Chains A and B, each alone.
Chain A
Amino acid sequence: MTDMPPLSAAALPDSSSRSLWATALLRLRRNRAAMGSIVVLILLSLAGIFGPMLSPHDYARVYPAFVKVPASVEAYPRAADILPAAEQVLTRARLTPDTIRLDGTVLTVTASASRPIDPRVTRYLDRSDLFSNARVTATAPDDLSVTMQADVARYYFFAGTDANGRDLLARILISIRISLMIGALATTVALIVGVAYGATAGYLGGRIDSLMMRLVDILYSLPFIFFVILLVVFFGRNIVLMFIAVGMVEWLDMARIVRGQTISLRRREFVQAADALGVGAGGILRRHIIPNTLGPVIVYMTLLIPKVILLESFLSFLGLGVQEPLSSLGVLISEGAKDMRGAPYMLLYPSIALTLLLFALNFLGDGLRDALDPKDR
């Protein structure tokens, strides 16, 4: 009767099957800003995870000799500081320096005196903070001149040191780790609690929904800072409390978003179809509602992470967050801000790290939003 091809798989496009996620990923891949952000995020995460292990300085180690040294690619102490210090030490030992030479980390000194020199003279060098392991390598036959060697510890502070003499780079790396950890963990808490709570309230509807959402309203009305202070008062300062505090606040938004989505999904025919199949409430939530709310949820999540990181920075700035010697980007920035003129690098580098992190997360969030909902552009 017709020349229409029969309806069969032959009429299907030949391209291999693609889920909605796969197509979204394909669209995301063409978004340069988002892909760049993913690379930046991966690098930052690697820096956060492995950076503190690889860094030559421990984030808590204090170098009293190098308080607030500016960022530099030169090694500390500088050669210009070492030679006068060596000269001073020799003078104190009543020796006349003939030559003082610095080869990398080894100081070679030739000195002479009017009286025979005791080999224990090396102790003068050792007593100084700068030198260690001083030894006599050659003594003149008349004992009036001596050649000594001492090791000089030289450190690189690429991002300078803070007001206590701790390496800023190591502290930035550990801060990235803490900030990302808080961001990821608090967001996961918010995600799990918020999605489960919101989907349940939205799907069950009616009185249960009203009750559940009123509870959310009550929690909303608690002043956040007051809540954090209460937690700190009762349980002491603890990084776990930070997760709880931030998570407790952020899941409320998530629950509302998911509930709204669920209410509109509940009216969709595929949910009614599942209902007509006899699928229980749990199955409908698990198989139909939650997977379909994930698009907006993931987008909200990428935007929630920077929000949480900022919240943590804010709490740390107020002194309610992570405690010394641990650090977070918020703490570092707050310290840097105190001496903006004297040591601008102390503000600059942590700020760059935080800005990079937040920009990358926001671009990724925007990219995901576009990729998951292309009609909305």
Chain B
Amino acid sequence: MTQPRSPLFELDDIHVSFATPDGPVEAVRGVSMQIARGETVAVVGESGSGKSQAMMAAMGLLAGNGQVTGAARFNGDNLIGQSKRALDRIRGAKITMIFQEPMTSLDPLYTIERQIAEPLMVHGGLSRRKARARALDLLELVRIPNAKARLGAYPHELSGGQRQRVMIAMALANDPDLLIADEPTTALDVTIQAEILGLLADLQTRLGMAILFITHDLGIVQALADRVYVMRHGVVVEHGPTDRIFAAPETAYTTMLLDSEPTGRKAPVAPEAETVMDARGVTVTFTTPAGFLSRPSAPIHAVRAVNLSLRRGETLGVVGESGSGKSTLGRAVLQLLPSEGRVSFLGTSISGLDRSAMRPYRKSLQMVFQDPYGSLSPRMTVGEIITEGLLVHAPELSAKDRDARARAALQEVDLDPAVRNRFPHEFSGGQRQRIAIARALVLHPTLIVLDEPTSALDRSVQKQIVTLLRDLQIRHAMSYIFISHDLAVVRALADHVMVMRDGTVVEAGSTAQIFDDPTSNYTRRLMRAAFDLSTVLSEQSVART
């Protein structure tokens, strides 16, 4: 696409700084970019690169301690420094935004119809009937199945993908010229992500608006964007047409982003290795008991009769979309949830053991959680977090011994042992995940259940964590149960893969077999959405025309 004379939206030398107790922190340092009418532009960068803050500043949505200089011109009008009232004429009408989290962006107390129709009535001056008709149109436009029935639904009745569609419908309500999509698919499963991206591409060709796509994932950019801006540390390090960026990146940073899919494969274990974990017919059913005035709700079968077996040093990858029961399975195996079936660890049955009977085994069975922000207690130092398990399992150790163990564990995960006295909020996501791994390692476990340990991290950090996990496994002969929806990571780590859907195993086998020769349609769809996004998107648009 050629550069038009006057861009639709233009950032000119935007600087954003935040006042903190330690003095101002510059988040964005002189960012300039242009978007032409009808163009799709992607802004790519890892977390903390300032990509979202630059847009927020342009839209007047900065946090209270933020300060912005520079100019953000929309059709030639500078948005920065305008009154809220003046901004509101543009925000929500000419420029609309969709955000990452579809769960929290909708008001849980409003029906879908009201969420979409109310702005139409207030800003657009439509009558109730017209607004309703328009809401229905919009829902059909974003391809929500059975749109008419969905008008009366509440947000919690919709799936994550559907909620994101509703958000897009709301953003489109006033026929915007520019849609800013801030990580719109990060919280979604790969297959849903493909659908949403396809929808956005389709809407753009039909409605002719410009789309500004903010993302950390270069993979999804290739299929969508005309041009790409790569940001790092608050500056644009590289920009240009998508094809050029992908074919011949100029900076090492872009190369690294492009190359950040985890590589390498796990070496197989010796066939004579002992079986560490063996589970037969694991079933988890959730029921809410009958209350004082309420009947018991229908039981939910989260996991149905799953078998798994794991030898020392092996990794089992558990793959599936959200709601498939993979995390529940991981917790059930560790006896953190009441479950049926038989689970044995090193030949001893551990199923149904209560808290105190389970305690001796906890030392050998560890878990690492998805959210590195939530899994570390914010009021404890890193040293206290890491050594907490020792208080339980090795109470005879003195404070000095515990400290030595903490230092060793931190060294294992490539963190400076001097960080022991710091608090978790001072670390980045990747560093926190390393701390969480150190907490599991300090007890020298036999098996670690890793529940989406890389999902909340940037691609390049993911890669480092994957390498770390592989190294640690070899060094300590540990077994992993690796739960993830990210197929690329699973491929780099697992010996065996189990694909789950709706609580049951759809397909299981060796990693090579699952990835190269999947037998079930569901697995095939997952693979294609993850590794072949462009083809999926072009097929979608072909299917539509």
Contact = CB atoms under 8 A, between A and B. Distances in A.
Interface stretch (B118-126, B239-247, B418-426): B418-426
A270 B256 contact: no
A7 B414 contact: yes
A8 B427 CA distance: 10
Interface string B393-428: 100000000000000000000111011011101111
Interface residues of B, number: 57
Interface in B321-335: 334
B426 A13 contact: yes
Nearest to B46: A4
B379 A20 contact: yes
Interface of A: 1-4, 6-13, 15, 17-20, 23, 26-27, 30, 268-270, 272-281, 283, 287-288, 291-292, 294, 377
9 contacts: A1-B256, A2-B253, A2-B256, A2-B460, A274-B388, A275-B336, A279-B389, A283-B391, A294-B379
Nearest to B428: A11
A205 to B, nearest CB: 12
B175 interface: no
A279 B388 CA distance: 8
A12 B434 CA distance: 14
B388 A18 contact: no
A9 to B, nearest CB: 3
A287 B256 CA distance: 41
A2 B252 contact: yes
Interface string B449-463: 000000000001100
B25 to A, nearest CB: 10
B359 A8 contact: no
Contacts of A276: 334, 336, 362, 365-367
Contact of B389 (A9, A18, A278, A281): A278
Contacts of A273: 367, 369, 375-376, 436, 439
Contacts, number: 127
Given A9-B418, A278-B358, A279-B388, A270 B430 contact: no
B259 A277 contact: no
B369 A17 contact: no
B389 A17 contact: no
Contacts of A27: 21
Contact of A18 (B256, B423, B427): B423
Nearest to B369: A269
Given A4-B256, A17-B423, A278-B389, A270 B415 contact: no
Contact of B253 (A3, A19, A20, A280): A3
Contacts of A11: 428, 431
A269 B370 contact: yes
B5 interface: no
A241 to B, nearest CB: 37
A287 B380 contact: yes
Contacts of B252: 2-3
Nearest to B443: A277
Interface in B357-381: 358-359, 362-363, 365-367, 369-371, 374-381
A4 B460 contact: yes
B392 A280 contact: yes
B508 to A, nearest CB: 25
A233 B426 CA distance: 57
